[in-house]
A and B are shown apart, each in its own frame.
Chain A
Amino acid sequence: DAGVIQSPRHEVTEMGQEVTLRCKPISGHNSLFWYRQTMMRGLELLIYFNNNVPIDDSGMPEDRFSAKMPNASFSTLKIQPSEPRDSAVYFCASSYGQGEYSNQPQHFGDGTRLSIL
């Protein structure tokens, strides 16, 4: 089991540029989550998908952020345009959820450390 794979591991870019973060969930998992972690705000859930459908995007900070899951094995989180305050570690996680119940743990990737200059 390769685990959740995120790319890139590090990204440094200038303010105003478009940033795309990528995630490959564990095969067979049907739920996918995007989190952001900062010292100030801790771990925040941005959006999550169930069976490739966005279920809750209430944590997405603003319209500059968008996420897609075109198929069960791939998801992207895009920031356009990026701002210095978007600097954080972004995590993707996946799990198997059945209906409205989930007693299965989430499996996290090792994150993308994003720095916006």
Chain B
Amino acid sequence: AQSVAQPEDQVNVAEGNPLTVKCTYSVSGNPYLFWYVQYPNRGLQFLLKYITGDNLVKGSYGFEAEFNKSQTSFHLKKPSALVSDSALYFCAVSPLGSASKIIFGSGTRLSIRP
């Protein structure tokens, strides 16, 4: 079965420290991978995507993600966290042949303390 796992429900980081939000996936073939962020009372917003090429993808708000095919992971990272980064983060995968469908993970709540 095709799936996405976010093993941490919550990640707590001090402002200014690096952050990592983990994501692993299980799909057949080479998937397209996405990260989204959700702020309170808002819809999900696209952050970045991996399609092909360089394993390190840069996105909005200083975020980046590293694609690791051997570990089937796509972890979200940021070198220096801001309090305003506090939100709910979703990893998602679009398997080839899915006709636009995206499978979302369960979400990780990121909390940045001042």
Contacting pair B102 A100 (CB below 8 A): no
Taking a contact as CB atoms under 8 Å apart, the answer to whether B99 and A102 are in contact is: yes
Closest A residue, CB atoms, query B33: A103
A48 proximal to B (CB < 8 A): yes
Q: How many chain A residues have a CB neighbour from B under 8 Å?
A: 26
Decide if A4 touches B43 in the complex (CB within 8 Å).
Answer: yes
Our pick among A31, A91, A103 for the contact of B44 (Cβ within 8 Å) is A91
Q: Does the CB pair B45–A110 fall under 8 Å?
A: no
Measured CA separation A111–B96 after assembly (Å): 28
Give the size range of B's interface with the partner.
20 to 34
B106 within 8 A of A: yes
Please name all residues of chain A whose beta carbon is closer than 8 Å to the beta carbon of B46 when the two chains form the complex.
105-107
Query: Do B100 and A95 have beta carbons less than 8 Å apart?
Result: yes
Q: What residues of chain A have their CB less than 8 Å away from a CB belonging to chain B? A: 4, 31, 33, 42-43, 45, 48, 50, 55-56, 91, 93, 95, 97, 99-103, 105-111
In chain A, what residue has the closest Cβ to B90?
A43
Q: Which of B36, B44, B102 is the one whose CB lies under 8 Å from A102? A: B102
Docked-complex contact B41 and A103, CB < 8 angstroms? no
> Which residues of chain B are near A48, meaning CB under 8 Å?
100-101
B interface secondary structure, majority: loop
Contacts of B43 in A (CB 8 A): 4, 91, 93, 108-111
Best-surrounded residue of B44, B51, B100 (most CB of chain A within 10 A): B100
Bound Cα distance from A91 to B61, whole angstroms? 23
Q: 9 A-B Cβ contacts within 8 A? A: A42-B106, A43-B44, A43-B107, A48-B101, A55-B101, A102-B100, A108-B43, A110-B41, A111-B42
List B88-111 residues whose CB lies under 8 Å from chain A. Answer: 90, 94, 96-102, 104, 106-107
Cα of A91 to Cα of B102 in the assembled complex, Å: 14
Contacts of B34 in A (CB 8 A): 105
Contacts of A107 in B (CB 8 A): 46
* Residues of A contacting B44 in the complex (Cβ-Cβ under 8 angstroms): 43, 91, 93, 106, 108
